[in-house]
Amino acid sequence: MTDTYCPIPWIFQAVRNNGDVRICCQANVTKNQGVIRHPNGTSFNAGKDNLALARNAELMKSARQNMLNGVWSEECARCKNEENAKLISRRNYENDSWGKQYNIDWARNITNDDGSIDTDSVPTIYYDLRFGNLCNLACRMCGPTDSHTWYKDYVEMSGKTNYKDTHGEVNLVENENGRWITVNNDYDWHDSHSFWNQIEQNLEKIEYVYMAGGEPMMIERHYDFLEKCIQADVAKKIILEYNTNMTSLQPRALELWKKFKAVRLGASVDGYGKVLEYQRYPAKWNQIEKNLKKIDELPENIYAWLAYTVTALNVYHLPDFMIWKLEQNYKKINSSKKKPIITHHVAHHPQSLNIRMLPNDIKNDIKITFENKKEQFKKYDAHIYKNAVTILDGVINYMLEEDLGQHLGSFVKNTKKLDEIRNQSILEIVPQYAELFNE
């Protein structure tokens, strides 16, 4: 295996919130955001285009060639940067999951010289589907492309009623009820009969479906898809994975999930109490905590992990949250020996929330804080202590590897403005920023 190989470009297909097909969600931090395009430059869109054709677009072919030759593609920059910082990258995760069956020798055997593959003999077995931007939260590291709940705050913060997405300009208008909506229903691609027909014609081949949003639990059509998997008697071989904000667990979902091979819930929980409520506004911690306890009592084929997005808003909170998690003694949430505490990743964008933009004195204070907190993990077994140190050291290494201080002013300005709109205060969450925000 080369140091750049990943099975994703061979077995996987990903769709952005607006329906644009992309090579991988990690590529969202690159200039092109990983979007797969027609020869005329327009993006392939899952709501109207042939998904099989997108698999042999130029971007896909060049990515395969690069991986087979040990070259990093531009779209793979996030994994490259994370691996350089000694973090576990998406590439690492996917090779752990799929690398034995779909290794580089297999890839070489089924890849043509130009990087293309026969999409009939090498079907998509793994889908990554972002079902629009319908969401009940307006998380601070997100924006209107991720959640329609962001529209009002976006207009008030920016003074604009439009913004750019990979498919073009999105225009917002206030309806008769005083709610902001998109003019052209830009994020409703998942209502497309064409898309669902293509997916459902491939039911026999599907092994893994990852679903996010917005908030996937709010997408009614996906429940119909689950029922069709059960009716076709293929659910028992399919693994479902959700990225969910844990604000709602519908009884319908809990019943359907019992029929699948496994259901994995990535719970987007980046703190407890006020820290969570600040970063994932307007979430209520008591409801999320209640749902976490509910998950811990579900059937054995369903389990979860805490997906902690590390930002400048919650980085100080990270070790305390890890200790809190250990004290809960969950049976099914980050309960494996391999990942016994949390599953974390750093927020690369927006760069105004990236921990690399913090000033050096605060970075040094975070490093000291983490070093002191390591002592509290020594009361657990050696494996948990090692996992805690790996997590904390990886975040520090990433933070110190690059200086993005040019975005510090935007961090302060945007945070103050959003605090004003939402009647919140960063200093109640991170008092360590008092000097930074009082200047």
Give the per-residue pLDDT at 79.
93
Domain that holds residue 28: 8-124
Name the residue with higher pLDDT: 381 or 111: 111
Could you tell me the two tokens for 166? 């990979």
The average confidence (pLDDT) of the chain is 94
The answer to whether position 55 is within a domain reads: yes
The answer to whether position 352 is within a domain reads: no
In angstroms, rounded to a whole number, what is the distance separating the alpha carbons of residues 55 and 74?
Answer: 18
User: Can you give the pTM of this predicted structure?
Assistant: 0.89
On whether both 108 and 178 belong to a single domain, the answer is: no
Which of 289, 287, 284, 283 is closest to 306 using CA atoms?
289
Per-residue pLDDT tens over the stretch 17-29:
999 999 998 888 8
| 271 contacts 281 by C-beta, under 8 angstroms | no
Count H helices and E strands in the chain, helices first: 18, 11
The answer to whether position 135 is within a domain reads: no
The answer to whether position 211 is within a domain reads: no
On whether both 17 and 88 belong to a single domain, the answer is: yes
- Counting Cβ atoms within 10 Å, is residue 103 exposed (0-12), middle (13-18) or buried (19+)? middle
Query: Does the pLDDT value for residue 2 go beyond 80?
Result: no
Per-residue pLDDT tens over the stretch 187-196:
999 999 999 9
On whether both 174 and 74 belong to a single domain, the answer is: no
On whether both 37 and 119 belong to a single domain, the answer is: yes
Per-residue pLDDT tens over the stretch 330-379:
999 988 776 789 999 999 989 999 999 999 999 999 999 999 999 999 99
In angstroms, rounded to a whole number, what is the distance separating the alpha carbons of residues 396 and 316?
Answer: 11
Query: Does the pLDDT value for residue 167 go beyond 90?
Result: no
On whether both 45 and 152 belong to a single domain, the answer is: no
The answer to whether position 280 is within a domain reads: no
Share of the chain above pLDDT 70, in %: 99
On whether both 104 and 168 belong to a single domain, the answer is: no
The answer to whether position 268 is within a domain reads: no
Per-residue pLDDT tens over the stretch 239-250:
999 999 999 888
Could you tell me the two tokens for 102? 């779909």
The answer to whether position 72 is within a domain reads: yes
**SS3 (DSSP) at 174:** strand
On whether both 64 and 153 belong to a single domain, the answer is: no
On whether both 12 and 102 belong to a single domain, the answer is: yes
The answer to whether position 436 is within a domain reads: no
On whether both 20 and 119 belong to a single domain, the answer is: yes
**What's the domain count of the chain?**
2
307 strand-pairing partners: 343
Give the per-residue pLDDT at 230.
97
What residue has token string 């657990």?
380
In angstroms, rounded to a whole number, what is the distance separating the alpha carbons of residues 346 and 342?
Answer: 13
Give the per-residue pLDDT at 1.
58
